Amino acid sequence: MSTGITKRIIACLDVTNGRVVKGVQFVDLIDAGDPSELAHLHATSGADEIVLLDITATSDARPILIDVVRRTARQLFVPFTVGGGVRSLADASALFDAGADKISINSAAIKAPEIITEIAERFGSQAVIVAIDAKRKPWLASSAASGAAISAGGTISAEVYLAGGRVATGRDTVEWAREAESRGAGEILLTSMDCDGTRTGFDCPLTAAVAKAVNIPVIASGGAGSGDHFVEVFKAGCADAALAASIFHFGIHDVRELKAQLQREGIPMRLPC
Amino acid sequence: MITLVDYKAGNLTSVRKAFTYLGQESVVTDDPALVRQATAIVLPGVGHFFTTERLTSSGVREAVCEAIERGVPFLGICVGMQWLFAGSTEAPEAPGLALFEGACERFNTTLKVPHVGWNQIRRAPGSAPSRLLEGVPDDSFVYFTHSYRAPVVDGVSAVTTYGETFAAAVERDNIFGVQFHPEKSGDTGLRILKNFCDYAAKGVRDEHWDH
């Protein structure tokens, strides 16, 4: 039986210094445009949600750019998530005031997980996304895309990283996703650092491991390069949503065309959109 | 002028900017006196049903009831719609307004709960033509995010299916409610909010006519 709900295609804007940028595996950034213009472009071309991440806010130890958020949110009428450098309930409140519907927390949630509960109690769990940057353990990373990276215990072994992929935590990805859910997270945004920017496909085994471990939606991120990759992450990866950046920014894919392909492959999509 | 009721349970910015986009002025308040003077009331709500208790303790509940009684157009969004029912098993100690029959319960499904994302609405079988959904075809997509759902009873104008079929919208006289977020549902959602604004504007004109 059809569940009725569609799988979501999310366009991500990685922002630094007020401009959208794109890097490969979190480094080597190039300019991709204005956040407000790109957000509207993606929304009108069929993206189901927009995510704006200030990717250097944490590493620069500065607050997120509120005016960029406000300008981007003003005429955006699809769900809008903002993340990067959210450290406190006050930071989150300021972003909601500026027009964010959800905030994404990453480093701060690992350092002080009670912030998840604090924001969820004030604004609702639906407004709290815990973002996890995951990297396979070195001896398994090479097999991430092959689906063979299962440890002896039958579980996926990936480590959580902080500060835009700059700091290893020693925490296990699946275990941290479960804890985030129990503390009140409404969704998990899972980025594979091994796959990010490579355009070779999502880390489907890792996505599936997290999606099966929690009862909240899991957004897969990192590695999108073709329509087939999206098909794989919704089928084998059990993702509820898939996020991509560069393939949309540079017009390699029209979101509507991508959604039509997925619909043909039997994946429920919001169409027409 | 739309009066947006703030009961410190979430974020009103998105709803407010949708009205601004539609050229509709709005004011945000938690003051029962201002709610009493309102010509149209919107109650957005997110999070736990228990937060609706704040409406009772602050006196806003009484003010809303009086306004509804006088025929002031009212739109409840998400928990704001659930509040129009008798209550929710999420917080049995917090009674709703019981303007529609039955109570909200957690989704009874093996699917993931919460229900988050874009899903389709369609007219409830046998329901009267909806003023709120005018110009919105069946199977239009809207954005949901919730774990509890209201039953399909008299007054339900649209339904949605997620493992089971539940109330997506209610409508009776001057009372409207939507389980989804029209402010996040693209052009479909804007059309629904515009329909409410148009109805509210008409209500004010009729009132002047009577005088």
Question: Please, what are the domains in chain A?
Answer: 8-264 (3.20.20.70)
Mean pLDDT within B134-144: 97
Res A216 pLDDT > 50: yes
Which of the four pLDDT bands, split at 50, 70 and 90, describes residue B209? very low
Backbone angles phi, psi at A72, to 5 degrees: -70, -35
Nearest-Cα residue of chain A relative to residue B120: A4
CA dist B55 and B82 (Å) reads 14
Nearest-Cα residue of chain B relative to residue A238: B112
DSSP symbols for B44-96: EE-S-GGGGHHHHHTTHHHHHHHHHHHT--EEEEEHHHHTTSS-BTT-TTS--
Active site (annotated) includes residue A203: no
Say if the Cβ atoms of A73 and B163 lie within 8 Å. no
Catalytic residue among B78, B115, B146, B197: B78
Alpha helix locations (H) across chain B?
Answer: 13-21, 32-37, 53-57, 60-70, 79-82, 186-210
CA dist A8 and A268 (Å) reads 9
pLDDT digits (tens, 9 = 90+) for A29-54: 778 789 999 999 999 999 999 999 98
Q: Residue B122: its chain A contacts at CB < 8 A?
A: none
Which strand (E) or helix (H) includes residue B42?
Answer: strand B41-45
Backbone angles phi, psi at B153, to 5 degrees: -130, -175
Domains of chain B: residue spans and CATH: 2-210 (3.40.50.880)
Amino acid at B157: S
Res B46: pLDDT: 78
Q: Residue B160: its chain A contacts at CB < 8 A?
A: 4
Res B84 pLDDT > 50: yes
Active site (annotated) includes residue B146: no
Q: Residue B8: its chain A contacts at CB < 8 A?
A: 122
Q: pLDDT > 90: what percent of chain A?
A: 67
pLDDT digits (tens, 9 = 90+) for A201-212: 999 999 999 999
Spell out the residues 6+ positions from residue B165 whose beta carbon is closer than 8 angstroms to its own. Answer: B152, B159
Residue at token pair 């092959």? A146
Catalytic residue among A48, A54, A133, A203: A133
